């Protein structure tokens, strides 16, 4: 049986531990503008590629200006990004079906010991199909 649970009234409350080393700072159903603002308080997984100079969407200087408020908050409204967000739920549901797994949207997660480290998990898998037993893992979805 495959179930994809949506965030909402039953989603973990902000501040609650959602991974072994991470706590939720913004639920998956939060407003996109709030998410863009919250991202400014740390370095996220997308920022790392820019800082390392391997991103076509930014560089270390653009990350610095974004985090210090020197750049306007911008949503990526490119055609690939719009389609990626539109298809993410469908891809997650199909991944769960094929792997006979349960997945759940999470939201913006912050490292407990290093609060500047953040990521937005696309989905948390409640029983990882690649592990023995009931270990949890994450699924990163790219639809571009």
The answer to whether residue 61 sits within a structural domain is no
Instruction: Name the residue range of residue 25's domain.
Output: 3-39+75-139
For residue range 108-126, what is the model confidence (pLDDT) as tens digits? 999 999 999 999 989 999 8
The answer to whether residue 57 sits within a structural domain is no
DSSP state at residue 24: E
**Helix H segments across 68-125?**
79-99
For residue range 9-49, what is the model confidence (pLDDT) as tens digits? 445 577 899 888 999 999 999 998 899 899 999 999 889 99
The answer to whether residue 31 sits within a structural domain is yes
The answer to whether residue 101 sits within a structural domain is yes
Dihedrals phi, psi of 38, to nearest 5 degrees: -65, -35
The answer to whether residue 60 sits within a structural domain is no
Angle at 45 between CA 116 and CA 9, to 5 degrees: 80
The answer to whether residue 65 sits within a structural domain is no
The answer to whether residue 68 sits within a structural domain is no
Average pLDDT, the chain: 85
């Amino acid at each position: 049986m495959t179930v994809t649970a949506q965030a909402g009234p039953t989603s973990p409350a902000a501040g609650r531990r959602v991974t072994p080393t991470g706590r939720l700072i913004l639920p998956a159903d939060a407003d996109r503008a709030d998410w863009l603002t919250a991202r400014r308080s740390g370095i996220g997984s997308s920022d790392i590629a820019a800082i390392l100079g391997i991103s076509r969407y930014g560089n270390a200087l653009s990350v610095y200006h974004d985090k210090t408020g020197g750049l306007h908050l911008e949503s990526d409204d490119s055609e690939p990004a719009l389609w990626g967000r539109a298809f993410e739920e469908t891809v997650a549901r199909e991944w769960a079906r094929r792997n006979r797994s349960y997945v759940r949207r999470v939201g913006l997660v912050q490292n407990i010991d290093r609060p500047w480290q953040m990521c937005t998990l696309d989905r948390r898998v409640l029983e990882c199909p690649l592990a023995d037993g009931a270990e949890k893992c994450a699924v990163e979805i790219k639809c571009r």
